[in-house]
Structure 1
Amino acid sequence: MPSLQVIGALMAKAEHDLAGLASLDIVRSVMSHNPDTLWALARKNGYDAAAPAGDGFVAVLPLNEAGLRQLAEGNFDASDPDLALVCRQNEKPAGIYIWAIHARGALAGGIALVIDKFKTPLHADVNFYARAATADGRRFMEGLGFQSGATVCGLHAPHLHVFRRSGHTDAPLFDSYHPATPANALSVTVARSMEDLMRVASVRSAVYISEQECPYAEEFDGNDLSATHLIGYVGHEPAGCLRIRCFADFAKLERLAVRREFRNTRLSFQLVRAAIELCRVKGYQRLYGHAQKRLVNFWGRFGFKTFESGRELVFSDFDYVEMVLDASRHPQSITIGVDPYLIIRPEGRWHMPGVLEKSATRRVSRQFQELGA
């Protein structure tokens, strides 16, 4: 959280890239009203705790019901917000408005960290809202998980993007696809049927066999039936996939593919984030992969680093390097000792009661005699 003195430098940097920013005096006034409204972002390798300074920022406005209604109606003045519409730190907001983001390059990874800050009891079930002024802004917001169009206070607000947490708080990123998914929304789910595997095979055939001219036997390598597959959707169209294979003390992410016509949607980011979350829920703290050299920076956005003692590899006519991500254990990771019914739920649906839990409501009716009895 930046001091009031640091805010001026952050705003000066942002003015070169963002038009229509609120004045420095207004930002300071809002922060005095609620200090949680602006969070500075800094690169970890250049951060000095003794003299903290930010390289970018995320500014939010926690709005009360009146403020959220004005936002939905299109009457909210973000350049000079009425503080009567903005909640204080100890007040529960009706919605959290993304006021401004200035996070160039790798700093964009800090946006998710700011959103994580709002998981307190006052904020955990409160939706985020944003307005995308440009096509690039829209793609960026959708890459973060925002969906176009919102219903607020009974009002349809097509000009807003929404990151839904209320009503869908139990659904993790790796199980975000559902029949009511809006058109063009990005979502991910685990492949659970033969038809799902056909979707995976179709995407990988289009990307690896057709575009990269990978031989069939090298692409479908005998590991598909011993792996977990994620399918990425744009609306209801299967547009991408990723494969996960689990070993004793690490999980391997591989075969990430997104169809050419959907590569401007940032679905690849959704798939990787979903895969990391799924692996952490399963208890893995070390993730591993082989990255094409041209994609090392892409994987670096998620925290993957080149494996120091790793080898360079060549297969299917591309050069690869080994990469590793050391992750923290998920707070709801699945271990022996949790509810045993949770462990037998379908893969990736550990947040929902499974069919075997329903069967447990029936009395035991089948008993087998010992052999020879």
Structure 2
Amino acid sequence: MARAYNFSAGPTALPIEVLQEAHEEFFDFADTGMSVMEISHRSKVFVELAQQVELDLRAVLKVPSHYRVLFLHGGASLQFSQVPMNLLGGKGTADYIHTGLWSGKAIRAARRYCDVRIVASSERSGFDRIPATTEWHCNSNAAYLHYTENETVHGVQFPAAPVSSVPLVCDACSSLLSKPIDVAKHGLIYASAQKNMGAAGVTAVIVDEALLNTPLDITPDVLNYTHLAQAGSMLNTPATFPWYLTGLTLKWIVRAGGIEQIYQANKAKAELLYQTIDNSNGFYINKVLQEFRSINNVTFTLADAALEKVFLTLADQAGIKGLEGHASVGGMRASLYNAVTLPAVDALASFMKEFQRVHG
């Protein structure tokens, strides 16, 4: 069976080696005679698996020992509320940097729990950049500063982590494990798995222990980071199969040479696609300022918008899938997550050049 070139924004491509390994173990995991989906999450074999996944994530990201690693439910959308519930620490305000659709969702959710101050925004320019630090108006009394490291919808990415005098919170859903990140500069990092870590259903939260123990009184036990850490992320039945797939994906990253090698590969993929766009003499357009272009999500439109449906239809027929832009902005988006190969991006670039030759 021919495999499609999958550029979906998520769920997205998984490494073929991970799929093969999961396939081989599907009916009999660790000689139990059962699938990993069938065994108890309290069993010795699954607890050992969960502990190993945590150790592997710690090793790959160089997580300091005073951080707790949680594997939770709900994706970023739940973290938008879970973060303020747990990190306000008696303070009534939190700072947010607004750089696109997802940071906007985080801001709206947090307003239910505190006074949200938008310290910087690129909304006026159409989210085509990260606001210059000279434009930021941070509050030294804020409980934390939140930023979305990579905006999947607009294709905008921070070139470096913000410098903050208060705990720094990072929505790294679409970029964690795709590039190096200094965990020690952050109070908390969260990321759902279905981009670079595995399959949908698991959300990793990496949190400094110093930020625990001060949740809002309204915080349910199942959303309390402290209780979840004490329970080993198993306060209730976890998503066992996605957790297992995250473990396989982490081992694949190690075999691929670790984060730095993955990062170099991701940069090469993005550079190839951006060159195709930039060399098209305006046939394809990317509006993001160059220094803030995402290596994870390459967004583009056609100068002739009437051709976009034709482009997507022909791409799909050619086995190039998942190029539709987010419904809020339209256009096209190629997500270049870890498991998307350079040959897949080369196939997309070749298709784009041929499409331009025929329709330009």
- Please, what TM-score do these two structures have when normalized by structure 1? 0.26
* Bigger Rg, structure 1 or 2: 1
More helix by share: 2
More strand by share: 1
